């Protein structure tokens, strides 16, 4: 395993020797990081969390307890994955082939979830691959994401739908008129152009 001396790995965690773990990262009890996964610097991998083979995590990522991130997911810097959230990878799940034979790795094609910088996935939410969750978006607890989520979008429900916008602080933005929004926490301003939000 490739990792810096400042990496903290609980004795009960299972980190494959072919995984790469960045400086300042903590891997807690019963977590598993599979072969060829890349975990950035200053990440927090919670109890019982799972990081699949070849998954890429940026720096300052937080996987809460029992979050499941299946390959080939890619998470940008500063992403938050809440407790027991799941990022799937099988578009047409079956245990067996049409003729009843147990499927092997050669019988299916993994598809991934992409999560942009700063985005957050709430507790027990499910992202059904293949989907992209945009930068700084917020997926509410228990939501089921089946379509791409725009940058800064706040999505809720089953299936998830956009109900508003959030800023970098994660707080719902306040409309100020003419497609403009303001963060009540930071004061940052944003502009909605045809359903796409950007910082002003």
Q: Confidence class of residue 4 from pLDDT cuts 50, 70 and 90?
A: low
pLDDT of 86 reads 98
Domains along the chain with CATH numbers: 2-165 (2.160.10.10)
* Cβ neighbours for 43, distance < 8 A, ≥ 6 positions apart: 21, 22, 24, 25, 26, 57, 59, 60, 61, 62, 63
- pLDDT of 75 strictly over 70: yes
Q: Confidence class of residue 67 from pLDDT cuts 50, 70 and 90?
A: very high
What value does the mean pLDDT take over residues 129-141? 98
pLDDT in tens, 11-43: 999 999 999 999 999 999 999 999 999 999 999
- pLDDT of 192 strictly over 70: yes
Give the Cα separation of 120 and 31 in Å (integer).
20
* Cβ neighbours for 106, distance < 8 A, ≥ 6 positions apart: none
Report the predicted TM-score, pTM, of the whole model to 2 decimal places.
0.95
pLDDT of 190 reads 97
Q: Is 57 helix (H, G, I), strand (E, B) or coil?
A: strand
- pLDDT of 2 strictly over 90: no
């Amino acid at each position: 395993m490739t990792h810096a001396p400042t990496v903290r790995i609980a004795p009960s965690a299972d980190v494959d020797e072919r995984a790469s773990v960045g400086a300042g990262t903590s891997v807690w009890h019963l977590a598993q990081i599979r072969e060829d996964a890349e975990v950035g610097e200053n990440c927090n991998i919670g109890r019982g969390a799972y990081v699949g083979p070849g998954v890429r995590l940026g720096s300052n990522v937080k996987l809460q307890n029992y979050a499941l991130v299946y390959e080939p997911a890619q998470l940008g810097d500063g992403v938050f994955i809440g407790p027991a959230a799941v990022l799937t990878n099988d578009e047409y799940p079956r245990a067996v082939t049409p003729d009843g034979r147990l499927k092997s790795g050669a019988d299916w094609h993994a598809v991934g979830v992409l999560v942009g910088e700063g985005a957050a996935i709430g507790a027990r939410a499910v992202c059904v691959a293949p989907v992209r969750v945009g930068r700084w978006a917020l997926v509410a607890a228990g939501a089921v994401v089946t379509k791409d989520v725009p940058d800064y979008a706040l999505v809720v429900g089953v299936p998830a739908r956009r109900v508003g916008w959030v800023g970098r602080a994660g707080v719902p933005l306040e409309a100020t008129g003419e497609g403009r929004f303001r963060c009540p926490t930071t004061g940052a301003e944003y502009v909605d152009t045809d359903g796409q939000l950007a910082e002003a």
